[in-house]
Structure 1
Amino acid sequence: MATVTELRERLRRPLAAELAAGCQNRVVAGGVDRLLASSLGNPFPRVRELLGGYGDLSVPEREDVLKTALAELADSEKIKPARTPRPAARQAVPTAAPGERLPIDAPLSRLDTGPGGARKLQTLGLHTLRDVLHAYPHRHEDRRALPDLSDVEEGQKVTVEGRVVAKSRRSPRPGMLVIDVTLETPSGGRVKATWFNQPWVEKQLREGASLVLTGRVKKFGRSVQLGVEHHETLDNAQDSLSTGRIVGVYDAKDGISQEFLRRAAFRALGAAPLDDYLPAHWRRKYGVTDLADALWGLHFPSDETHLTRATSRLRFDEYLFLELRMLLQGEDSVLQGKRFQATGDDINRFEAALPFRFTNAQRRVLLEITDDMRGDQQMARLIQGDVGSGKTAVAACALYLAVRDGYQGALMAPTEILARQHYANLRGYLGQLDVRVGLLIGAMTPKDKLEMQTRIAQGEVDVVVGTQALIQENVRFDNLGLAVVDEEHRFGVQQRRRLLASRPDVLVMSATPIPRSLALTAYGDLELSIIDELPPGRTPIETKLLQDTHRVQAYGFVMRQIREGQQAFVVTALIEESETLELLAATQLAEDLKTILPEARIDLLHGRMSAAEKDHVMERFRAHEFDILVSTTVIEVGVDVPNATVMVIENAERFGLAQLHQLRGRVGRGHQQSYCVLIAGEHSQKTRKRLKIIEGSTDGFVIAEADLKLRGPGELRGTRQSGIPDLRLADLANDTEVIERARELAKHILAHDPRLEHPRLQYLRSELQNRSESVAYREVI
């Protein structure tokens, strides 16, 4: 039987945790009133009197009576707050005394997690109190009313609670161990639970043990059997954390139980200060709860509403810190920039010289650009648009506005063939407006390079188009005002910054449609403009999905196009992340096609070629020196071959939808009807359903949204390599509004305090530093 001292401690601990959690009456299942109504309250009538009607009190009143009640308990026992000393020879860091508050970054050796507890948590990558608080459950189970097994269906996944009443073990065949347990549920029903080849669990399954089991139901007449996928043994002292409530399930390893992790989270929440880094007026404006409520609500929610409220706050925080980090890394958001006139008359003059009129989407994006150009801050804006949406014309207009104000402009492309293409386009747009356009690429002779560099330095060139040659040390601009970067993700950060050394306004163009939510995170240091409308009169590319059993018919169609004077791309998929195997597959495919289509002239493009060799092959293809280009996935984004009208993609199931759409965009550049043939080597319903999306849509943004939902952000545009951390609570497919609100607050914070130096932001700054994975980034602030 428990002593009065033990009962006093069992009462004091949840009351201290309730005080630490902000007096929200959520720490104890059923609330403080229910705790006091239990046998724990009987020996302490003064405490019961002080805390009577606790649930009806305001938060300040609760705090007052809790402090008084805890003092009463301490006085009755003469509890001293000092920690229990350890032998000096062991030099161990003492754990916190019950009720003692710990710094948020205290090592876990100071948190009472039991013998070896800190070491267990360290194997999960958790080293501080903060780590435990933010090691969120990956899912939650509702254990408030576990199901009646007579009502569940065959194959349904359920969680049940019960007591072991029988156990047996058997070996149906050599090397196989089956452990069967009969569990009696609180309602009196019985269920047979089975473990396969898990001998280590047997010692936890003693008769009389209380278990919580999760698994798939199998029914045999009136009897129910459970194939166990997860189980927990219940410690009576911890029942309130694992049953009778919504329970979090954590990522764990063998030997680390869910009960242990819940207990660690519970004690961390009770010991941590939980100071909120978002002031109350920001929380009210953005409709999020306070940090203490959120952390308690994610680990130990009182109900569904509490869990939703907690998840919303902590998801908002993930995006807020991501946006702050991106804006601080980019630095462009707080720099003084050029200030342009950017008049409507100049825009009209530029448009009048075009052979077409701007679409409404182009006009909208131009207004966003000119608003930035007229401002004091440096423009840093991303223009997103599908193939053929007119991004280059919009960028050319912005360059014209810069030149009209006496500045130079630059456009940097990732390859020489793209640079030449942009050079030809800009000369067409700007040449008749007396704008001098120059080209600077690595393939030029030393004499031509020197001449162009001299003209740039002396201001004799208004707009320079080039590759990385533009950021070499011997290139000096006379007065660079606007830099346009095409397909920015193809350049390194340092490369871009060298071009931006003189602080010009910046436009980044991307022909890779990605969802707005992903763009706001992948390009967090850039404002976002989307050209989501194609010019009128464009003929959509016809797309057809075929099984590989119809490959011969597909290439028969290709040959008919070739006989009519057209050309075709044939792309083969990456095989097992091996460039060597991919090259072999492409080479073999080219040889096979020479046999199938003996009339056709066929050549090959692959990743092992140098940049010069790739450019040479593409130039020959544009000049129609051969009919079919067999390629790996290295076809240059944005390259125009107007005479190419067919794109065949082999093993299309190996590509993401967004990548298929990009490859399809290599055709349809001329006036002829163009076609894309997807050849699928896998015939499953799932594959057909996915590929039918691209067969039925030519809208890159619709396709990108579908790709995000199917594949997740990590596989789109290499975002895991672009610095986006794992977002544990985020759902990029549905979080656009949350991201925009978090971005708005991040920009507001940095606009008023670019280095987070105000004392009110000390917690925010500290949290930002601790969430950063980059040492270099910590030096930014």
Structure 2
Amino acid sequence: MNLTDPIQYLKGVGPKMAENFTRLGVGQVGDLLTHYPRRYLDLSSPQKVSDALPDEINVFRAKIIDLKSSRALRKNMNILKATLQDESGEINAIWFNQPFLSNVLQKGATWIFYGKVERNFQRERILMSPQFEHRPQMISIYPETEGISSKYIRLVVSQVLQEIRIVENLPENIIKSEQLLARSEAILKIHQPQNWADVNLARNRLAFEEMLTLALRLTQSRLSTQKELAQAMPVQEKLLKSFAAKLPFELTVSQKKAIWQIILDLSKPVPMSRLLNGDVGSGKTIVAAMVAYHVVKSGYQVAVMAPTEILANQHYQTFSKFLQPFKISVGLQTANNGVKQREILRQKSKLSTTPHFLSMTATPIPRTLALSLYGDLDISVLDELPKGRQKITTTVVHPSKRSETYHFIEEQIKAGRQAFVICPLIEKSGKVETQRILSLQDIDKKTVLEEFEKLDKNIFPHRKIGLLHGRLKSAEKEEVMKQFKEGKLDIIVSTSVVEVGVDVSNATVMMIEGAENFGLAQLWQFRGRVGRGQHASYCFLFTEIWSEKIRERLFSISTAKNGFELAEKDLTIRGPGEVVGISQSGIPDFKMASLTDLALINRSRQAAEQILAKDPNLQSLPDLKLAVEKMATRHLE
């Protein structure tokens, strides 16, 4: 048996069950072995029957004191009912359509039972279709799907573990220095542990292996870049000072530091690979514009790539404003861009060198996450806001306070200000805009079309309201934003297409419907669309679900001192996918490793450097090489 064998040929699987397995991302034997348990039931520590918790999985060691089999004639269903007893009390257990259990379970026998406790119509606690074992053991509970239960997965995994030979993929010296289990032992213990010590040892090995794979990919990328040649551009300090002196504002300390770090990178004959990691509104664009000025004055060209057409248009206007006074021409080209386009740009360079690359974040990324995801890049941080930025007052609005908030927005518009209104969906047709939106199937979410209709006809009928979403044609989106920027629209109702970078200095209100559907990092981005002018600004978070958990999440927006603090909290609550953005395809699909484990990150990076120093192409470690190549096909910027 090999790891690449299709699972449909395993005993007890077949084509139909194999199709069900695909919903779990399992197609081959290797996929099955890395479909790790999500938790465990420890049968060695049963609870008392008197402590049974409804709606949860319970474990009891109990004696069968009564056992009856019957048939429900109306539903033609076999029913087996048992009364279970321990020293604390009794509880009934019930099984449906499993008549063979009458030959297995006997009155007077003691078993360890585990299953979900529910309440019947009489409010009695019932142990529903429990499973049972004779001896205490750890029971693996797996991610399931329709037609595939944890019990079934355990049976198939057990079969594979008995037949397959798992080859070690790490160097022996690394296994010894890191005190790791052998891979075969780790796989066995993660699926069939005898105790919690087994689980922890297996997790430690498998987490290290995952993080090491990422560290190898990043280290190889960095080493490869260092071998390439780039155009070195001498530092022109007087030129930069002259540019800064003509700006209508003073650069922050962190902006000056970042610019200097980038300029020094550009002065070297190796390609720059740097990440500009900045808070919302920290002034990343002017840093990029100043660097572009330096590059052009050095005799070269600059390509600025943006994720949306709206942002591309805005960058065009901003770069033109800063650079045209120095007689530097700026052009605009809009098209879908991404990894392929950057590779084309690299290949089409007329020079026999590699372009310098500067990546900029949309939201601040926590230090540990930046180290793990962007370990092949140097990092500059903008952690302060430019002088003159207005304070943004953030309020979580109770459903009963909606009318008061509308009145406040009306007063802002009367004073000559403008407002954004953000909704999670375009319409309730089942088709959703492919933005960074969570839990999109909830039909109670506010839609941009409904909200536009309501505000336009009922709430602000005397105001000029614009509509913006991803299905509009480019020219239509551009026209809506142009009217809003020119003050011809009082309110713009939009999906999350305005999330990144949109800058309208006269907008002082950001109203977000269904705020519970967005991550904290995304809400912080929306909030950052206001407070960019001379007027005090406000962000209103609307939610119809007034639960304690949601209130706590949303109130953290109003108390956060900066985006980095909030990003750390978001990382804890929602995980790295939300912090960097769901549409970022480069988040590694880690099952054991944590992207916030700084000790693990450092250990794996040191090991990666040791391995590559001896074997740069991983020729002696073919399985590990294959895992690294698979990860390298995913974009990590």
TM-score by length of 1: 0.66
Does the CA contact (< 8 Å) of 1:169 and 1:180 recur in 2? yes
CA apart distance, 1:165: 5.1
Q: Is 1:545 paired with 2:393?
A: no
Q: Distance in 2 between matches of 1:340 and 1:331?
A: 19
**Alignment-mate amino acid for residue 764 of structure 1:** L
SS in 2 for 1:313: helix
CA apart distance, 1:348: 5.5
Cross-structure match for 2:344: 498
- Quickly say closer, same or farther: Cα 1:257–1:372, change in 2 above 3 A: same
Q: Distance in 2 between matches of 1:124 and 1:155?
A: 27
- Residue-by-residue CA offset, 1:142-189 (whole Å, 9 max, x unaligned): 23343454676788753134564532256899659864223466xx78
**Alignment-mate amino acid for residue 12 of structure 2:** G
Does the CA contact (< 8 Å) of 1:541 and 1:698 recur in 2? no
Cross-structure match for 2:183: 291
Bigger Cα displacement from structure 2, 662-671 vs 650-659: 650-659
Q: Distance in 1 between matches of 2:578 and 2:159?
A: 37
CA apart distance, 1:311: 0.6
CA apart distance, 1:338: 1.1
- Residue-by-residue CA offset, 1:183-207 (whole Å, 9 max, x unaligned): 466xx787434236x3237637733
Q: Distance in 2 between matches of 1:360 and 1:748?
A: 37
Q: Distance in 1 between matches of 2:177 and 2:254?
A: 32
Q: Is 1:137 paired with 2:37?
A: yes
- Quickly say closer, same or farther: Cα 1:491–1:168, change in 2 above 3 A: farther
Matches within 5 A, 1:447-526: 467-468=334-335, 491-501=337-347, 502=349, 503-516=354-367, 526=377
Cross-structure match for 1:279: 171
- Quickly say closer, same or farther: Cα 1:119–1:306, change in 2 above 3 A: same
- Quickly say closer, same or farther: Cα 1:117–1:606, change in 2 above 3 A: closer
Q: Is 1:166 paired with 2:29?
A: no
Q: Is 1:735 paired with 2:597?
A: yes
Q: Is 1:567 paired with 2:418?
A: yes
Q: Distance in 1 between matches of 2:85 and 2:309?
A: 74
Q: Distance in 1 between matches of 2:57 and 2:309?
A: 57
**Alignment-mate amino acid for residue 307 of structure 1:** V
Q: Is 1:412 paired with 2:314?
A: no
Q: Distance in 2 between matches of 1:190 and 1:427?
A: 79
Q: Distance in 2 between matches of 1:534 and 1:718?
A: 23
- Residue-by-residue CA offset, 1:364-405 (whole Å, 9 max, x unaligned): 544653564455543333323222212123223433443454
Percent identity, please.
Answer: 35
- Quickly say closer, same or farther: Cα 1:363–1:211, change in 2 above 3 A: farther
Does the CA contact (< 8 Å) of 2:422 and 2:494 recur in 1? yes
Cross-structure match for 1:762: 622
Q: Distance in 1 between matches of 2:304 and 2:146?
A: 55
Does the CA contact (< 8 Å) of 1:340 and 1:402 recur in 2? no
Matches within 5 A, 1:168-183: 168-169=68-69, 179-183=80-84
CA apart distance, 1:763: 3.2
Cross-structure match for 2:136: 244
- Quickly say closer, same or farther: Cα 1:330–1:341, change in 2 above 3 A: closer
**Alignment-mate amino acid for residue 496 of structure 1:** R
Q: Distance in 2 between matches of 1:120 and 1:530?
A: 52
Q: Is 1:613 paired with 2:476?
A: yes
Instruction: Select 1:321's aligned residue among 213, 220, 225.
Output: 213
**Alignment-mate amino acid for residue 296 of structure 1:** L
Cross-structure match for 2:527: 664
**Alignment-mate amino acid for residue 670 of structure 1:** G
**Alignment-mate amino acid for residue 552 of structure 1:** S
- Residue-by-residue CA offset, 1:576-623 (whole Å, 9 max, x unaligned): 45459935314312423xx44455333333333211111112112211
CA apart distance, 1:555: 1.9
Q: Distance in 2 between matches of 1:201 and 1:407?
A: 80
Cross-structure match for 2:262: 369
CA apart distance, 1:407: 2.8
SS in 1 for 2:212: helix
SS in 2 for 1:314: helix
Cross-structure match for 2:438: none
Matches within 5 A, 1:189-200: 191-195=90-94, 198-200=96-98
SS in 1 for 2:510: strand
**Alignment-mate amino acid for residue 208 of structure 2:** F
Instruction: Select 1:402's aligned residue among 295, 300, 303.
Output: 295
Cross-structure match for 1:585: 450
SS in 2 for 1:412: coil
Q: Is 1:643 paired with 2:506?
A: yes
Aligned residues, how many? 604
Instruction: Select 2:560's aligned residue among 697, 707, 710.
Output: 697
Does the CA contact (< 8 Å) of 1:693 and 1:703 recur in 2? yes
- Quickly say closer, same or farther: Cα 1:342–1:368, change in 2 above 3 A: same
Bigger Cα displacement from structure 2, 380-389 vs 287-296: 287-296
**Alignment-mate amino acid for residue 104 of structure 2:** R
TM-score by length of 2: 0.79
**Alignment-mate amino acid for residue 441 of structure 1:** L
Cross-structure match for 1:655: 518
Does the CA contact (< 8 Å) of 1:162 and 1:183 recur in 2? yes
Q: Distance in 1 between matches of 2:328 and 2:138?
A: 66
**Alignment-mate amino acid for residue 761 of structure 1:** L
- Indicate the RMSD between aligned Cα atoms, in angstroms: 4.3
SS in 2 for 1:437: coil
CA apart distance, 1:664: 1.6
Bigger Cα displacement from structure 2, 522-531 vs 643-652: 522-531
Does the CA contact (< 8 Å) of 1:165 and 1:207 recur in 2? no
CA apart distance, 1:214: 2.0
- Quickly say closer, same or farther: Cα 1:305–1:167, change in 2 above 3 A: same
**Alignment-mate amino acid for residue 116 of structure 1:** G
Instruction: Select 2:274's aligned residue among 375, 381, 388.
Output: 381
Q: Distance in 2 between matches of 1:655 and 1:411?
A: 28
- Quickly say closer, same or farther: Cα 1:373–1:749, change in 2 above 3 A: farther
Cross-structure match for 2:436: none
Does the CA contact (< 8 Å) of 1:645 and 1:668 recur in 2? yes
Does the CA contact (< 8 Å) of 2:469 and 2:497 recur in 1? yes
- Quickly say closer, same or farther: Cα 1:116–1:570, change in 2 above 3 A: closer
Q: Distance in 2 between matches of 1:306 and 1:216?
A: 26
CA apart distance, 1:628: 2.1
Q: Distance in 1 between matches of 2:85 and 2:223?
A: 63
SS in 2 for 1:722: coil
- Residue-by-residue CA offset, 1:299-320 (whole Å, 9 max, x unaligned): 2335433322221221222233
CA apart distance, 1:740: 5.5
CA apart distance, 1:217: 6.0
Cross-structure match for 1:206: 104
Cross-structure match for 2:437: none
Cross-structure match for 2:439: none
**Alignment-mate amino acid for residue 340 of structure 2:** Q
- Quickly say closer, same or farther: Cα 1:742–1:184, change in 2 above 3 A: same
Q: Distance in 2 between matches of 1:437 and 1:344?
A: 17
Bigger Cα displacement from structure 2, 379-388 vs 285-294: 285-294
- Residue-by-residue CA offset, 1:733-768 (whole Å, 9 max, x unaligned): x43553465456557756876643x3x222322455
- Quickly say closer, same or farther: Cα 1:744–1:616, change in 2 above 3 A: farther
Cross-structure match for 1:441: 332
- Residue-by-residue CA offset, 1:212-250 (whole Å, 9 max, x unaligned): 422456899xxx965236514x4xxxx6xxx43434233
Contiguous gaps of at least 5 residues in structure 1: 1-101, 443-466, 469-489
Bigger Cα displacement from structure 2, 335-344 vs 559-568: 335-344
Does the CA contact (< 8 Å) of 2:235 and 2:267 recur in 1? no
Bigger Cα displacement from structure 2, 363-372 vs 635-644: 363-372
**Alignment-mate amino acid for residue 331 of structure 2:** L
CA apart distance, 1:675: 0.9
Contiguous gaps of at least 5 residues in structure 2: 434-445
**Alignment-mate amino acid for residue 424 of structure 2:** A
